Structure 1
Amino acid sequence: MGRFQPFHWGHFEYLTEAGRHSARLTVGITNPSAERTRHTGTDPKRSSDEANPFTYEQRSAMISTSLARLTPHLRPRIVPCDLRSPTTLRSSLGPCDLVALTVYDAWGREKQALAEAAGYDVLVLWQRTEKLVTGTEVRRRWRNSLPWDHMVPSGTAETIRSLTG
């Protein structure tokens, strides 16, 4: 699960690694709408409008197009994922054998605890302090007309370009 604002190479690394641990991959897109956004003190900026410029449908297109081109064997089920509580997480993500996630900071630990409280078996793929790419940097470059498309798979770049003409 992740916001994927936008889907970038760090997310690609995470999803392909998660796909190695399960025959069925479900990708939960968090903050799928303003009403289903978790507001948290561990990362207050993540719920801001500025940090969430792409709709659930746009992010789903970024992921599905990118994965279909680069890892067609994965064929994930993509769903809106509501992290406001363990109950809303369980009802939105549905049945999963395993929830795989990455931990970089306090928000990652909070997300892990939330998934465990929802009754999921959780696999932390890795704990790191540095990210390969950040959505914040991709969005900054995109908004300032700086080179950004090398930071994302082609399916993401095409989706974003289709929005801006």
Structure 2
Amino acid sequence: MKRGFYIGRFQPYHNGHQSVLEHIAKHVDEIIIGVGSAQLSHNVANPFTSGERVLMITRALSSLDCPFYVIPIEDIQRNALWVAHVRSMTPPFDTCYSSNPLVVQLFKESGVDVQSPAMYERELLSGTEIRRRMLAGEPWKELVPRAVVQVLDEIEGTARLCQIARDD
């Protein structure tokens, strides 16, 4: 049984994440998806709760031909201990898939095999760009899976983001 681990904040989950996970699914028997910074929500950089992000991911991957687990992982603010924290929160895994330089470094230092899959249209497909577009009233829905649009509509995600971004 080969398991791969992939972590992100998913604020929100977008087509780039979907592309990477579809790639990973071709190389493993199961995927563990870590929802990073799980304790953060209701701010401009992290507007969605970990539960909402779990819902986005689970719905977007409903047709993925690979079993997966979605696990919220809170920050512990101690990089030297972070990989051990992640491992304590997840099923065992063989490979970490990440292109984040800090994540790559921490897992390599811990002796974990790390693969860095190519990121799909990174300039356009980033949570920062999608949140910027949501705040500016610009088109963003084509940048996320349809299931994520539905979740964001259900939770009134754009309205929340606009409200928390306001000055008092």
Normalised to the residue count of structure 1, the TM-score between the two structures is 0.78
The structural deviation recorded for 1:91 is 1.3
How far apart, in 1, do the equivalents of 2:32 and 2:126 lie?
Answer: 22
Check if 1:146 corresponds to 2:152.
no
Q: Structure 1: which 5+ residue stretches go unaligned?
A: 35-46
Contact 1:8–1:153 at 8 Å: present in 2 too?
A: yes
Contact 1:67–1:74 at 8 Å: present in 2 too?
A: no
Check if 1:9 corresponds to 2:15.
yes
Contact 1:82–1:92 at 8 Å: present in 2 too?
A: no
Equivalent residue, structure 2, for 1:43: none
**2:46 is aligned with what amino acid?**
N
Return the match for 2:102 from 110, 120, 127: 110
The structural deviation recorded for 1:149 is 0.7
SS of equivalent to 1:86: helix
Contact 1:6–1:135 at 8 Å: present in 2 too?
A: yes
Contact 2:39–2:75 at 8 Å: present in 1 too?
A: no
Rg larger for: 2
The structural deviation recorded for 1:9 is 0.6
Q: Structure 2: which 5+ residue stretches go unaligned?
A: 1-6, 77-81, 160-168
Q: Is the alpha carbon distance of 1:63 and 1:129 closer, same or farther for their aligned partners in structure 2, counting shifts above 3 Å?
A: closer
When structure 1 is superposed on structure 2, of 92-101 and 118-127 the one drifting more is 118-127
Over the matched positions of the two proteins, sequence identity in percent amounts to 28
**1:60 is aligned with what amino acid?**
V
How far apart, in 1, do the equivalents of 2:59 and 2:19 lie?
Answer: 15
Contact 1:86–1:115 at 8 Å: present in 2 too?
A: yes
Q: Is the alpha carbon distance of 1:23 and 1:131 closer, same or farther for their aligned partners in structure 2, counting shifts above 3 Å?
A: farther
- Which 4+ stretches in 1 moved above 4 angstroms? 127-130
Return the match for 1:134 from 113, 126, 135: 126
Contact 2:34–2:73 at 8 Å: present in 1 too?
A: yes
How far apart, in 1, do the equivalents of 2:36 and 2:153 lie?
Answer: 22
